């Protein structure tokens, strides 16, 4: 399936309840790929807003108790409406408030996709106990941790790092697309989560949509990096790359290994 063309034809509305650091970057990235972003987080309107959306993205990066309440209201409405929910548990291990917020979200909402760095997913898998900050992670890639989290919550789980892991609890894929500059740009992971929402919103198979979202975003970053030398220019180049990205670009560049349950 050509997900990029589907997004540009359908222009799915992606409702983001996200953090103040990345809202603009995420909105521009969604516009660049062809989706339609809305950044609404008032509890008074989120239920109505998400009822018009094609995907809901929840990002706890700068969450408050009011925002958590909005996420719960929106998430439950999304579940009732059949709208996929994508969760980014930013810095989940950094504070007890974040841990409790994510625990409550995962306990009360059916989350379709969870996207986090290796440290965050390790926390959800209860194999990591602390983080120094919201970007803290580990270099160790273990597909079994992501599979464990996937099975626990019934969600597709995406662990991003030097090698990305995407799993539905049985099958898993390893993606090696991307560039070292991505972690140098605030919000690059959060934008990926939003992009995943766009891909999932136009697909019947959310696992394959997630794999393609990760490889497409990685390919776009590689194209962007070809003409720049620093994070400032890279941010702008990434927007241009997402705007001009084609399925052919992704097919040419994708570096993915896919494994079935039998091969594990």
Residue 183 has what DSSP assignment?
A: G
Structure tokens at 229: 């030398």
Whether the CB-CB separation of 214 and 250 falls below 8 Å is answered with no
Q: Lowest-confidence range among 38-52, 82-96, 124-138? A: 124-138
Which residues, listed in sequence order, are joined to residue 174 by a DSSP beta bridge? 165, 257
Structure tokens at 137: 């992670």
Structure tokens at 109: 């909402």
Confidence band for 142, pLDDT divided at 50, 70 and 90 = confident
The larger pLDDT score, comparing residue 136 to residue 226, is at 226
Structure tokens at 199: 């891909």
Confidence band for 138, pLDDT divided at 50, 70 and 90 = very low
Mean pLDDT on 82-91: 97
Instruction: Give φ, ψ of 11 to 5 degrees.
Output: 50, 60
Mean pLDDT on 113-138: 74
Confidence band for 132, pLDDT divided at 50, 70 and 90 = very low
Confidence band for 263, pLDDT divided at 50, 70 and 90 = low
pTM of the model: 0.94
Statement: residue 259 has pLDDT above 80:
yes
Q: pLDDT digit string (tens) for 36-78?
A: 999 999 999 999 999 999 999 999 999 999 999 999 999 999 9
Identify the pLDDT of residue 140: 56
Identify the pLDDT of residue 129: 47
Identify the pLDDT of residue 202: 98
State the Cα–Cα distance between residues 7 and 13, nearest whole angstrom: 10
Q: pLDDT digit string (tens) for 213-230?
A: 999 999 999 999 999 999
Mean pLDDT on 229-255: 97
Q: pLDDT digit string (tens) for 2-44?
A: 999 999 999 999 999 999 999 999 999 999 999 999 999 999 9
């Amino acid at each position: 399936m050509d997900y990029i063309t589907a997004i540009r034809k359908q222009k799915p509305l992606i409702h983001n309840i996200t953090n103040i650091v990345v809202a603009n970057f995420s909105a521009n990235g969604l516009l660049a790929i062809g989706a339609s972003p809305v950044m609404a987080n008032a509890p008074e309107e989120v239920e109505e807003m998400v009822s018009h959306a094609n995907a809901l993205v929840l990002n706890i990066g700068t969450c408050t108790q009011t925002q958590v309440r909005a996420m719960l209201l929106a998430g439950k409405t999304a579940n009732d409406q059949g709208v996929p929910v994508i969760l980014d548990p930013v810095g989940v291990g950094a504070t007890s408030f974040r841990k409790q917020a994510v625990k409550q979200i995962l306990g009360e909402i059916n989350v379709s996709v969870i996207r986090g760095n290796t440290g965050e997913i390790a926390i959800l898998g209860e194999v990591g106990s602390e983080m120094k900050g919201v970007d803290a992670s580990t270099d160790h890639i273990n597909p079994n941790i992501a599979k464990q989290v996937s099975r626990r919550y019934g969600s597709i789980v995406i662990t991003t790092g030097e090698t990305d892991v995407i799993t539905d609890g049985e099958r898993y894929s390893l993606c090696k697309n991307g560039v070292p500059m991505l972690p140098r740009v605030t919000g690059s992971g959060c934008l990926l989560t939003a992009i995943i929402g766009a891909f999932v919103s136009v697909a019947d198979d959310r696992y394959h949509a997630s794999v393609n979202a990760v490889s497409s975003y990685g390919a776009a970053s590689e194209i962007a990096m070809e003409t720049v030398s620093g994070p400032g220019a890279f941010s702008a180049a990434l927007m241009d790359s997402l705007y001009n990205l084609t399925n052919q670009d992704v097919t040419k560049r994708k570096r993915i290994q896919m494994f079935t349950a039998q091969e594990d």
